[in-house]
A and B are shown apart, each in its own frame.
Chain A
């Protein structure tokens, strides 16, 4: 079965620190990859997505992610985090031929001012 692993369950950073959240998926076929973010008290929002083309994708609020097919990875990065980035981040894969998202367990990011 398809699965998504997020290595860090909780991350605590100071403002201006760099961020990298790991995401690995297990599926050998064509995949569409997503990062969603859930700010406190809000619903899931799309941060960025990869369907095809340039493996380095840029999203909202200065986030980017790199798809590395050989490593089955889609890590999320931001060079300098802000207090407002405090949220839970979910990596997800939409498996080709199916119409469901498979999510990781999420990473809670706390950015201290």
Chain B
């Protein structure tokens, strides 16, 4: 049973650098989500794809953030000019039409 996978699991970067994370959803799932989780908080929604179309973006997603899902399979989340406030766990989830979202292990970003 292959679940949602994310790469890398940890990323340490210096302020101002660009970073890119990858998410591979469960293969038959057409919906893909990105969330961000900071210490002591629950995950917060960032963006949502249905197949390759990005259908919703949170106001949390500033202009420095961009997400793609070019072929409706894997997705990438890029953060440009990282800031210390971007340090968080970035979670990916996927679902089919059943509305149950299955989460990956996350990518922990530390911005120095």
Question: Which positions in A face B, CB cutoff 8 Å?
Answer: 4, 32, 34, 36, 42-46, 49, 51, 90, 92, 94, 98-106
A105 touches B99 (CB 8 A): no
* Total chain B interface residues with beta-carbon distance under 8 A: 24
- B25 interfacial contact with A, CB 8 Å: no
B45: chain A residues within 8 A (beta carbon)? 100-102
B residues near A4, Cβ cutoff 8 Å? 42
Given A99-B31, A99-B55, A99-B56, also A44-B103 (CB < 8 A): yes
Whether a CB of chain A sits under 8 angstroms from the CB of B62 is no
- The yes or no answer to B65 lying at the interface (CB within 8 A) is no
- 1/0 per position for B22-56, CB-CB distance to A under 8 A? 00000000010101000011111100101000011
From residue A104, how far is it (CB to closest CB) to chain B in Å?
A: 5
Q: CA A43 – CA B108 in complex, angstroms?
A: 12
Closest chain B residue to A91 by CB distance? B42
A-B contact pairs, 7 of them (CB 8 A): A32-B99, A43-B105, A43-B106, A51-B99, A99-B48, A100-B48, A103-B43
Tally of A-B residue pairs with Cβ under 8 A?
Answer: 52
Contact B42 A43 (CB under 8 A): no
Q: Does B100 contact A (CB under 8 A)?
A: yes
Chain A residues with CB under 8 A of B105:
42-43
Q: How far is the CA of A101 from the CA of B103 in the complex (A)?
A: 12
B40 contacts across to A, CB distance below 8 A:
105-106
Distance in Å: Cβ of B34 to nearest Cβ of chain A? 10
Complex formed: what's the CA distance from A46 to B58 in Å?
23
Chain B residue at minimum C-beta to C-beta distance from A45: B103
B42/A104 in contact, CB under 8 A: yes
- B104 proximity list for chain A (CB < 8 A): 43
Q: What is the chain B residue whose CB lies nearest that of A90?
A: B42
Given A100-B45, A106-B41, 15 additional A-B pairs, CB 8 A = A42-B105, A43-B105, A46-B100, A46-B102, A49-B100, A99-B31, A99-B33, A99-B48, A99-B50, A100-B58, A101-B33, A101-B35, A101-B45, A101-B101, A103-B44
How far, in Å, is B81 (CB) from chain A's closest CB? Answer: 26
